[in-house]
Structure 1
Amino acid sequence: MTVALNHVDTGGQGVPLIVVHGLLGSADNWRSHVKQWQERWRVVAVDLRNHGRSPHVEGMSYTEMAEDLLALMDQLAIERAHLLGHSMGGKVVVSLALLAPRRVASLIVADIAPQAYGHDHDAVFAGLRRLQEGQPANRREADALLAEHVEERATRLFLATNLQRGETGGLELRIGLDQIEAGYDEIMRAPAGEGAFTGPTLVLRGGRSHYVTDDKLPALREVLSNARVQTLEEAGHWLHAEQPEAFQAAVNDFLSLQEGGRSLSE
């Protein structure tokens, strides 16, 4: 069963740009980018299931998440769209492109390869569980609780975007943590679908990230056969937050190419 995804739709004409966040992210993380993109394109930023303001349900497979996204496209009468996904969201948009290629005008995949990855979120989940137990009254208390398990301040700040004021006045998580942890093995797997997506594709990777290293490129191109790979040298995994202007420029140039009807090889 598909989930009715919470989303922000800027409205506008032309082929829309649909933006899909990564694990433990939300549409809110893309606010500043959406503000810029909406000057030229219709932008739809989504909260995936168990994230942001979308419903909490069992199942985190890429087939399920891609079908949620397709259902949203149907709801909004979007026949084809440019799809941008970061990290887990990148695997979601690749899955949609493999399962329903006619619905995809182009792909922008941010710092993820279409493959399985190892488990490396144990400390993050432990920190989030500590938040749940600690019931912080304010963000300073929340940061102290997270710091018991998560050393990097930037990661703690990112995780804190999932906090909201509860009915009792304290801060609480708005994500479906139980469902995400139960589905974590599925999240770490390769995207759903078979074969290759042959449409225009931009893969943006962080020069300081380990997610899309050179050794992963041959296998990446087996799935994304028309991929152009662009590196933001000074960025890590959260390249859209660490190098926002360079990220914006790369996306704008790519989408402008698609508007002009030119292929990536020209």
Structure 2
Amino acid sequence: MAIELHTLDGGQGEGLPLVVIHGLLGSADNWRSHLRGWQQGRRVVAVDLRNHGRSPHAAGMGYGEMAGDVLATLDRLGIERCHLLGHSMGGKVAITLARRHPERVASLVVADIAPVAYGHGHDAIFAALRAVEAAAPENRREVDGIMAEHVPERAVRLFLATNLVRGEGAMAWRVGLDEIEADYEAIRGEPEGEASFVGPTLVIRGSRSSYVTDAMLPTLREVLPEAQLVTLEAGHWLHAEQPEAFQAAVNDFMGRVEA
């Protein structure tokens, strides 16, 4: 059964709607600066996937389940056809939806992810989140100190901290951590769907990221045969590290699709 997802929905113009799907432990809120830019010429909808942001928590993090949630959201919002953009885990959700329902996807933008199963994990990140959960800290400074014992990169800690809310006297996580950890193997796995998506596709990767290597390109092109590849001087969070270049690449691509 599909989950009713929370969305940020705004903008207007002649362009086709753009639907944005965040990555693991992200949310629609992370995309607000990009949304303001894209909303100048079109309707833009950013979703919170299940167990993320302000969306409900539910068992099951399979790509078919999450793509089903997004499809139900498109139906609820009256969006028959759209540009679909997904980063990381959200990119696999977008690929799954595009493969299963290509008639709904005018174009696909995949940000720093390939349609493959990954071996690396998020053990340190989960350990940091659980340590914060156990300590029940009273403020963000305490949270950062606890996470630093597991995650040395300050930028990653700041990203994770976007999931903090104030609970009853302590800081707490708004993500469905139990549900995410329980089905983490599905998240690491391949996107679902049998057919290739043969519509217009843009793949944007970071030069300092290991998520879309040259060795993965043959598999990527089997699933996304029309993929155009753009490499930005960035790591995995390329839309945050190179926001202007990222937005320009997406705008140029959508403009060519709509021409």
Q: Sort the TM-score into its range (normalised by shorter chain).
A: over 0.9
Structure 1 counterpart of 2:180, one-letter code? I
1:197-253 superposed Cα distances (whole Å, 9 cap, x missing partner): 000000000000000011110110000010000000x20000000111110110110
Report the alpha carbon displacement of residue 11 of structure 1 after superposing the two structures with TM: 4.2
| Distance of 1:160 and 1:195 partners within structure 2 | 38
| Distance of 1:74 and 1:195 partners within structure 2 | 22
| Distance of 1:170 and 1:178 partners within structure 2 | 19
Q: Any residues of structure 2 matched to 1:33-48 within 5 Å, and which?
A: 33-48=34-49
1:123-157 superposed Cα distances (whole Å, 9 cap, x missing partner): 00000000101111111100001111111111111
- Per the alignment, residue 137 of structure 2 pairs with 136
Report the alpha carbon displacement of residue 169 of structure 1 after superposing the two structures with TM: 3.3
| Distance of 1:15 and 1:193 partners within structure 2 | 25
Q: TM-score, normalised by structure 2?
A: 0.98
- Per the alignment, residue 72 of structure 2 pairs with 71
1:160-191 superposed Cα distances (whole Å, 9 cap, x missing partner): 0100111x232110000000000100001100
Runs of 4+ off more than 6 Å: none
Structure 1 counterpart of 2:234, one-letter code? A
Q: Any residues of structure 2 matched to 1:83-232 within 5 Å, and which?
A: 83-166=84-167, 168-232=168-232
| Distance of 2:141 and 2:207 partners within structure 1 | 32
| Distance of 2:217 and 2:251 partners within structure 1 | 23
Report SS of the residue matched to 2:16: coil
How many residue pairs get aligned? The number is 258
| Distance of 1:246 and 1:11 partners within structure 2 | 21
For structure 1, the residue ranges without an aligned partner over 5 or more in a row are 261-266
Q: Any residues of structure 2 matched to 1:2-13 within 5 Å, and which?
A: 2-13=2-13
| Distance of 2:9 and 2:257 partners within structure 1 | 21
Identity level (%): 66
Report the alpha carbon displacement of residue 119 of structure 1 after superposing the two structures with TM: 3.6
For structure 2, the residue ranges without an aligned partner over 5 or more in a row are none
Q: TM-score, normalised by structure 1?
A: 0.96
Report SS of the residue matched to 1:228: strand
1:34-75 superposed Cα distances (whole Å, 9 cap, x missing partner): 011101111000000000000000000000000000000000
CA RMSD of aligned residues (A): 0.8
Report SS of the residue matched to 2:4: coil
Report SS of the residue matched to 1:85: strand
Indicate conservation of the 8 Å contact 2:100/2:195, yes or no: no
Indicate conservation of the 8 Å contact 2:5/2:73, yes or no: yes
- Per the alignment, residue 251 of structure 2 pairs with 252
Report the alpha carbon displacement of residue 258 of structure 1 after superposing the two structures with TM: 1.4
| Distance of 1:29 and 1:4 partners within structure 2 | 20
Report SS of the residue matched to 1:255: helix
